[in-house]
Amino acid sequence: MHKIWFVFRKDLLQEFNTRYAFNSILLFALITLTAVSFAIGTYSASDEVKAALLWIILFFSAMSGLSHIFVKEEETHTADTLKLLAQPYQVFAGKLLFNFFLLIVLELIIIPLFFVLMNFEVDSLPLFLLILLLGSFGLAGGGTMVAAIISKASAKGALFTVLSFPILLPVLIIGIDATKMVIQPENSASVYLSLQTLFAFGMVINTVSFLLFDFVWKE
């Protein structure tokens, strides 16, 4: 537990100094949000379109920044030192925590902006936040694992999106659908099924990533 915290704090400090991942994620999200809002306008989009747009913005901004966490270790050749300092599962947990934190910070900034710019209203705010939380959990788990895989390959940037997309698509599909249900009050009862699915997906992908991370990290 101590070591997990250590890895997390180390990444946080590094990020604080360079702000590489955070800047790229946030700016990507801002640019897409502006482009979408500018192109569609505030009032014309239906609720379904807004839900889909929100998740597409979140998903692709996550794709633009989550891979940095492992790629930077390979680029600066610090991976070997980290191997000596901590067990594989501790490294993975620390990095996962960091990516999860990154997504939460991104959402804290982007979601209020989305509400303002897109004239977006939800029926039940706690449920909406829960969907985002569970969705980020799945995105962070799959994203971190794929980041670990591609950090060992060449052509890292393009490959990350290609590999993550099919694995994380369930989050995207279920997230969009659950958000649609939250927007329209009459559907709120069936949103729990989607929440369960999102939670199950997050648990499964994270468990499998923990089990398989050893093989990637030792390569």
Partner 1 sequence: MLKLIFKIFLFLWLSAVIIGAFLYAPLAKGLGEYTRVLYFHVPMAWITVVAFLMSAIFSIFYLWQKNLIFDHYAVVSNQFGILFSLLATITGSIWAKVSWGAFWNWDPRETSIFILLLIYLAYFALRSAIELPDRRAALSAVYSLLAFVTVPFLIFIIPRVYSSLHPDPLINTEAKIQMDGRMLLVFMGALAGFSAFYLWMFTINKNIVQLRSQFEEKEF
Nearer to partner 1, 4 or 148 (CB): 148
Interface residues with partner 1 (CB under 8 A) are 142, 145-146, 149-150, 152-155, 159, 162-163, 165-167, 169-170, 173-174, 177, 193-194, 197, 200-201, 204-205, 208-209, 212, 215-216, 219
Nearer to partner 1, 37 or 138 (CB): 138
Nearer to partner 1, 110 or 150 (CB): 150
Nearer to partner 1, 49 or 117 (CB): 49
| Cβ contact 78:208 at 8 Å | no
Question: Nearest approach, Cβ of 161 to partner 1 (angstroms)?
Answer: 10
Question: Nearest approach, Cβ of 103 to partner 1 (angstroms)?
Answer: 19
Residue 187 corresponds to which tokens in the numbers above? 């559907």
Three-state secondary-structure class, residue 35: helix
- Beta-strand ranges (E) seen in 44-119 are none
| Cβ contact 146:69 at 8 Å | no
Question: Nearest approach, Cβ of 196 to partner 1 (angstroms)?
Answer: 9
Report the distance separating Cα 182 and Cα 77, nearest Å: 46
Q: What are residue 167's phi and psi, to 5 degrees?
A: -75, -40
Residue 8 corresponds to which tokens in the numbers above? 């997390």
Question: Nearest approach, Cβ of 9 to partner 1 (angstroms)?
Answer: 27
